[in-house]
Structure 1
Amino acid sequence: MAMNKINGGMEVIGADGVHVGTVDQVEGDRIRLRKSDSFGHHKGHQHYIELGFVAGVEGNKVRLSANADIAVTLEEEPSGRPVDLG
């Protein structure tokens, strides 16, 4: 997988094609999502997705290996801990 093809502004979608977020930038082995894509009581917080969940890059979209409803549970806070959706 050519991770160097992932750039800021690209849409991140689940395997089902549903919007998960927008790339802010790649940091190490994680994609940092834009704060504007955060949800619920996590609104305004930075979230990350491990590059290992990327299935491919298709044009201006980063497709994950999990459906969107699962992918949001895989998001991490800056500390590397999973997002608490509760």
Structure 2
Amino acid sequence: MVNTSQIREHMEVIGADGVHVGTVDRVDGDRIKLTKKDSGQGAHQGHHHFIPVGLVAEVEADAVRLSANADVAVTLEEEENHKGTAG
């Protein structure tokens, strides 16, 4: 398990494929809260999304690298008041 105390505000969140997923706003329990600017488009735009800490493979100097590719990680994002956005 990754030490979440190493995850800091403004770190880039990167999928296992090297693709940008978001930017850390803060760690909120067992989830990483992403900044609103990385909230996506349409109905997903303008509010925070969360990535489960369980997807974190490692924390590098300035980035959080996930164990899933970016396209998969995005489907596992959770919205502020909901669990999971997939489906």
Q: Which residue is equivalent to 2:45?
A: 43
Identity %: 59
Question: How many Å separate the matches in 1 of 2:3 and 2:77?
Answer: 21
TM-score (norm: length of structure 2): 0.91
Cα distance per residue 1:17-72 (max 9 Å; x no partner): 10000000001110000000011111101100110000000110000010001110
1:59 aligns with 2:61: yes
Instruction: Give the partner amino acid of 1:26.
Output: V
Question: How many Å separate the matches in 2 of 1:50 and 1:82?
Answer: 10
Question: How many Å separate the matches in 2 of 1:64 and 1:56?
Answer: 7
Q: Is the 8 A contact 2:76 2:86 kept in 1?
A: no
Question: How many Å separate the matches in 1 of 2:51 and 2:82?
Answer: 9
Tell me the C-alpha RMSD between the 2 structures.
Answer: 1.2
Structure 1 stretches of 4+ moved >6 Å: none
Which segments of 5 or more consecutive residues in structure 2 lack a partner in the other structure?
none
1:17 aligns with 2:15: no
- The CA deviation at 1:80 is 3.9
Size of the aligned set, in residue pairs, is 85
TM-score (norm: length of structure 1): 0.92
